[in-house]
Structures are given as C-alpha cells and as structure tokens.
Chains A and B, each alone.
Chain A
Amino acid sequence: MVSIDVWNASVDFPIFDAKSRSLKKLALGKVGGRIGAEGRVPIIEALHDITLSLRHGDRVGLVGHNGAGKSTLLRLLANIYEPTRGSSRIQGKVAPVFDLGVGMDPEISGYENIMIRGLFLGMGRKDMEKRVDDIAEFTELGDYLSMPLRTYSTGMRVRLALGVVTSIDPEILLLDEGIGAVDAAFLEKARDRLNDLVKRSGILVFASHSDDFLVELCSSAIWMDEGRLKMHGSLREVVKAYKGRDPYEHLSPDTLERIGQAPVMSGNGGE
C-alpha cells in the first residue's frame, strides 16, 4: 500500500561556516569547559512541525513563497532528508524530478542518460532497455536521443526526465517547479500520463508557482509558509487563500470540463 505519513517532523540544517567545520575549532572548544561545537552551529529550521498523511490517489500541489520549504518538504518525502525531529514513514517506490541538471551527464547521449536515471531510480539494466522505446516515443525526441545531452534545450531535458520517471511505474512521484519549461502540447500529454499513473498506483506531489500547472495536475494543495504547513485542503480553497483569487476563474469551460471541475464557483476540488 502506497502511503506517506509524516509526524511532527522538523528539518534543521546546521550551517557550518569555515570556522565551525574545522577540527581545530572543535578541539579548542573542548578546552575550558564544555561548549558543544554543535551548540554554536547556527541552524536553519527549514521545516517545522510538519504532520502530513497522503494516500493512494492523492495529487497534491505545493504552493508558497520562495524559501517557504517546498523543495525541502519534497526531499523529506523522497527520503533524502530524514527528519531531525519527529518521524516519517514513506511506503512505495519514490521517483523524484528535482533539479534537471543533476544526475544527468551533459556529455553523454540521451539514451545513456535515460539508462543512468533509471538505474538511479532502482531499475535494472534490462528493465530499462525494455522501456527505452516507450520513453523515446513519449518524449518525441527522436534522433536527438543519440545526441549528447548538452545539445538539448531545457524543455527537452524536462521531457527526458519526465519520460523516465513516468515510464518506471513509480508509486510516489515528486516534481519540483523546474518542469515549467515544456510547451502546452507536451504538457497535455504529460498530464494524461501523470493522471493515469496516479490513478493506477500512487501519489503525486508537485511544487509550482504556476496556477495552470497546478490546476492541470493536482486536486488538493498544501500551502507552505516559513517552513510550516499553513494550510492543507482542496486546491481551490488553498490557492484562493494563498493568491487571493480563484484559480479557476480565468479558465475556459473546455478546460474546466477536462479537469473535472464545475464552472460554477461552488467547486468541489477533491479531498
């Protein structure tokens, strides 16, 4: 069963400046009374007291100002950071798409990058070989896949990254805002595929500043503010509270129908 449970989790970053990161300082600090070096390290509380529970089928948007803790929360959910206080339990195969530049080698071809990404996400080499054609078709990159990655545009990299994560049947998909670089046609395609994926097997958490993306991909939302979970509810309510306007008000009836929202103001945004 796919699930994400986080109880009272906090993430504190110790900020070591050049001085406190050295052994010398630690040794000197021991002389003349116990001043723990840890105690003098300034701490940034990136997440504070987060309690969260997500289940199968949840498509959650993360909104909030820069530095509100969206990316850190995503990394907590990806098991990259273990909470410094509190606890978390993430069950299911996690596939994160954060920084598009990381884990991708600009000098090697798209095909090879697909392979490496897949291996990093816990797939076997044979599994990935089977999926390469599927990914090639989905990304529409064609012959470009045999070119070195440095020749790709940002949008093409996003396509590649999305192609890989959606092809490996992840159970928990975590997307950071970077994917905004794709064009509308591809977004539509990706949306169908992501929705399909979430319906079949999982949870989507997506951090974005773009209403359009959020509306397309998410049903509920979390508003992060200064490392705290300020609001968790339906997408419509949360975005309305965060931005002060209804995210659906400018959308055409076609779009609304497609994403399953009533055009009237009494929306029932999931949850």
Chain B
Amino acid sequence: MRDAWRQRELWEHLGWQDIKQRYRRSIIGPLWITISMGTTAVALGLLYSQLLGQELGTYLPYITVGFIVWNFILGCVTEGTEVFIANEGLIKHLPAPMTVHVLRMVWRQVLFFLHNLVVYVVVLAVFFPTLTHEYKMDGDIVPHPGISWTVLLAIPGFALLTVNAVWVALLFGIISTRFRDIPPVIHSFIQLVFFMTPIVWPVGVLNKFTNGEASWKVLIAEFNPIYHFLEIVRAPLIGHALSWHHWVVVGAFTVVGWALAILALRNYRSRVSYWV
C-alpha cells in the first residue's frame, strides 16, 4: 500500500487519462459529465418537487446534491467490485501494487464528482436567497439553519467518504475477483438502495406518517448506512441541520471497513493475480 502511495503520479495520471479518454474527439469533452448531471438534476427536481409537494427553491438544491453524492457512491461501489477484473491485463503483465488500480478508480470518481460539483455551484447561485436563511422542507419539524460557514464541513465529509470508497473497492474488489457472483448481486441491489435512500425524497417526509414520533418508519433511513455517508456531505452543502450521529456511524464504518480490507489485502493480495 505504501508503494501504491509512492506511485501516486501513476494513478493520478491514469485517472485523468481515463476521463480524457472517454471524451476524446468530442468537442466539449469532460463538460459532458457536468451537462448530463445538470440536466438530470433539473428535470428530476422539477418533476419531483411537484409530485412530493416540495418547494422548488429548497428541493432542487436538495436533489441536486443528493444526486451528485449518490453518483460518486454508485461509481465507487459498482466499479469498485470490478476493479481487479477490469484490470486483468495490467495485473498480469505489469508488476504494480494492487492498490494502484483501486486508487486510480477512486481518483477518477473524485474527478467526476468535481465536474458535477459545477452543477451544485450553479444551483447554489440561483437559489442562494432561499438557502441562506432558516428554512423548512415540507414535512420537516425542526427548521434547517440555512447555509453558513458550516458548508466547509463538506470537505472533511467528502474526504471521509473517499477514504471509505478505497476500502470498499479493495475489499469488494478482492471478493468479487474470487466469486464472480458478487458484481451482478451488487448491480441488482444498488438500484433498490437508490430508492430506499433519502435522495429523491427528503427524510422529513417520513415525519408525515409518524406525526413526529419515533417509529420504524424513520428507521428506514437510519438503518441505511448509505444515508449517513450521504448526509455528511449533503447536509453542510445545502445548509441542513447537522447531526453528529452521522459522523459517528461513518467513523465506525471507516474503522471496521479498513480493518477488513487490510486483512483481506494481507491474506489474499498475492492471490488476486491468480484469480483474475
């Protein structure tokens, strides 16, 4: 792993190359990433704000940021499971640390994320007046404080998310290389996870059904680890109420996940080249 870090010029270069490669010979190049995210976010925002009876001014930023962060998670999980399988050729022909492939993939996703962040900046600029003071989304009981300096908390939040992406890709990458059923399983469940996670629907909506009392209905969100990962980045970016319990949950996942990943790496690293 230390070798992989030493070779960061390699995976940084390769990650960039992957993006440039995808848009080679297209005129506006990687800007397509931004455009497609922008279109999706605006279209979904317009549609669902009506369906869910939400105010556009607070809902559109919510779904935009949710979607951007979700796309990062989605990319890391789905590509993470196939990271070694996809790099079979390189693994068999060039002696590079296994972690290089993982870091390259995560770095590529980070770059995608940064491209998509442009959409956030635009949305933020448009809805700035509605987001900077206290506001409630439909269904919320406690009002959100609005955007302030806490927006900076999104940076450590995203850093932590990225750190988690690395262990997910390492661990699931190794397992999926050995058991080829894992990638299809992940692919079919990730769609479900998207609908179960508060991305399109705000958590506050759950309160409508529970009249603000704790019930299993709220637990739908709380028992979903993705929700906590999402929230540590999303909440500061749109000025939602911050809750430390998200950080605690994510922190626990980070420690346990890395422990498992390091264990897997130590025991099976040398087997990966046999399995691919």
Contacts and interface: CB of A to CB of B under 8 A. Distances in A.
Q: Do A and B come from one complex?
A: yes
A102 B179 contact: no
Contacts of B179: 21-23, 26
A105 interface: yes
B92 A80 contact: yes
B96 A120 contact: yes
Given A102-B92, A119-B10, A82 B181 contact: no
Query: Interface on chain B toward A: helix, strand, loop, or mixed SS?
Result: helix
A96 B95 CA distance: 8
B9 A102 contact: no
A108 B21 CA distance: 8
Nearest to B90: A103
Interface in A46-91: 75, 78-82, 84
Q: For this complex, into which size category does the number of interface residues on chain A fall?
A: 35 or more
Contact of A122 (B7, B13, B17): B7
A83 to B, nearest CB: 9
A2 interface: no
A145 B43 CA distance: 45
Given A102-B90, A103-B90, A116-B10, 5 more contacts: A14-B274, A24-B181, A81-B273, A101-B89, A105-B17
14 contacts: A21-B178, A23-B179, A80-B91, A80-B95, A96-B94, A99-B89, A101-B89, A102-B89, A102-B93, A103-B90, A115-B13, A119-B10, A120-B96, A122-B7
Interface of B: 7, 9-10, 13-14, 17, 21, 24, 89-96, 178-182, 270, 273-275
Interface of A: 13-14, 16, 18, 21-24, 26, 75, 78-82, 84, 94, 96, 98-99, 101-103, 105, 107-108, 112, 115-116, 119-122, 124-125
Return the 6 tightest CB-CB contacts between A and B, nearest first: A82-B270, A119-B10, A102-B89, A102-B93, A98-B93, A79-B95
